Amino acid sequence: MPAIAALFLMLSIPLMGCNGQSVKSSDQERQTSLGAATGTRYLAFQMFTYSPNPKSASMGEGSNHESAGFPDKAALGAFIDDIKSRIGATGDKKTRLAVMLGPLSFDHSDAEVTRFIKLGFELAVEKKVAVGFHIDDSMFWGKRKDLWSDPKNVEAFDWDGEPSTGRRLDWGKEPSKAPPQMCFNSKVIVREVQLRSTLLGKAIQTEVSKLQNLKMPDLFAGVIAGWETMIGQDFKTGKYLGYRALLNRGFTRQNPPKDMDLERQKVVQEFIGLWTTGLADAGVSPQKIYSHTAFLSRRAFGLGDDKEITYMKPEKEVSYSQHNHFAPPSVAFGKNHRPGFSTYPQPGLYDDIYAELAKHKQVGWASSEGTNMQPESGPGQTGMNMETYLAKMFNHGATLVTIFSWGIGGEANKNMGFRVVTEGEEALQAYRKFLRSEALVEAKSEGMTLQERLPAKIRKIQSELPAWIQKTHNQALVEPLMQKLDAALKAKDFELAEKVADEILKLLGST
């Protein structure tokens, strides 16, 4: 049997952690300095449109991915009707119910996206529900062999220019594979983005002009230019990419940049700007254009006051920029768009967003993706209800909040965590309250989150287990549970980890 020390070695991987206090923003007890942006605010629900089935969130990842092709009008209309009827309110010129159609990807042809944009606006007028569009800027381009077959358009994982074997997507318990990482500053890619963004921008603005003639301009919710834009990791090797972009910027192994991370952040930010400039130059208002990045908060990474909080930090040493795939919150900002972020709750996330908004003196921003749940934690683990979740954004200047997971998987998955959180009665009441233009209440604290509870329990185990073993000599009894806890933590299955930790603590307290 392993020694007692070996049991603790299992738990030496990075943990979630906190100082025992509930998460709370420094802005909660005062009115945000940003205030509410003027104009209509939109509560949008993402409708997945990569494939003909809007109830499937699968896109171009994995070995059995969906075929690209937009849903037809009947499928879209039925989906909108379901959202509209169950919420029972569509808002007014101050607050609007919306649907966000996307992804519009490079796997969809120019003709397809042009027709689909027109269809989206037709549905908006018919259903009296605002419409927006969510662009996949770089992930799903498998049909564009004319682009990815040239290594110059594909990212590299070393200075020799070895091309990416595929982009790693950590969307589930096991990584899935997407087409190779696009090189954001390849001359050909830059040209293609300019052409595509101009095409999309003109198609959108043509329909917006029609809405203006109908005196219904508020039925356009906006366009999100990007789908968690980043320079990701290579699928086969796990290495961080971006070397092709650095080579294009004149750097080499012999002449590397002073700050490798910062230089790649610039590449990401410039790529976002390339898309949004094309849209804006085509006539779309920058106030209706949003970016979309995703980041782990500084607090969760262990850079805040609570140094123990590293619940999603990888085992190997990486920088904060690397872990965020060169897309920390600052890169979401630009002159032709408003910033947008993924907003699944985590300790410190909103503090980081508020701080960055204040730094940029930004009024108006988006939750480009999210719901009141951490994907790996299960429902009921965020320490807040849906009203507070919405308040953390709308009460702090957000003009667009896009909710993910409505209807995903159809009836068979109606009881799955995401759908329970997004479509449950408590959430529906919060949506109705917003759409009635009533003030959303941001609760100061609704108990500790799973991300805060679990580390405290693990520390208690670490503190009490040696004495328990010395007293009972029952190391063999606890060892399987410790192994199970270790496996759950490494798999980032924190809900299971908490259950196992509770079993261990019950055992320790039974003698």
Per residue in 392-411, pLDDT (tens digit) is 999 999 999 999 999 887 77
Task: Report residue 281's pLDDT band, with 50, 70 and 90 as the boundaries.
Answer: very high
pLDDT of residue 452: 62
**Interacting residues of 274 by C-beta distance below 8 A, sequence separation 6+:** 184, 190, 193, 194, 197
Whether the pLDDT of residue 380 is over 90: the answer is no
Q: What percent of the chain stands above pLDDT 70?
A: 83
Whether the pLDDT of residue 53 is over 90: the answer is no
pLDDT of residue 351: 94
pLDDT of residue 13: 39
Per residue in 419-471, pLDDT (tens digit) is 889 999 999 999 999 999 999 999 875 455 666 677 778 777 877 888 888 88
Whether the pLDDT of residue 18 is over 70: the answer is no
Q: What percent of the chain stands above pLDDT 90?
A: 60
Task: Report residue 382's pLDDT band, with 50, 70 and 90 as the boundaries.
Answer: confident
- DSSP string of 271-340, one letter each residue: HHHHHHHHHHHTT--GGGEE--B----HHHHT-SS-TT--TT--SS---HHHHTTT--GGGG-BTTBB-E
Lowest mean pLDDT among 76-80, 190-194, 301-305, 392-396: 301-305
Q: Average of pLDDT values for 287-315?
A: 76
Which of helix, strand or coil describes residue 239?
A: coil
pLDDT of residue 38: 63
| 275/56: higher pLDDT | 275
Query: Which tokens sit at 62?
Result: 């994995």
Whether the pLDDT of residue 172 is over 80: the answer is no
Whether the pLDDT of residue 307 is over 60: the answer is no
Per residue in 477-505, pLDDT (tens digit) is 888 888 888 887 776 677 788 888 888 88
User: Which residue type sits at 310?
Assistant: T
User: Which residue type sits at 501?
Assistant: A
Q: Average of pLDDT values for 350-372?
A: 96
Task: Report residue 30's pLDDT band, with 50, 70 and 90 as the boundaries.
Answer: very low
Paired strand residues for 334: 337
Question: What is the set of domains in the chain, with CATH numbers?
Answer: 4-10+452-508 (no CATH), 37-446 (3.20.20.80)
**3 conformational bin, left if phi > 0, alpha if psi -120 to 50, beta if neither:** beta
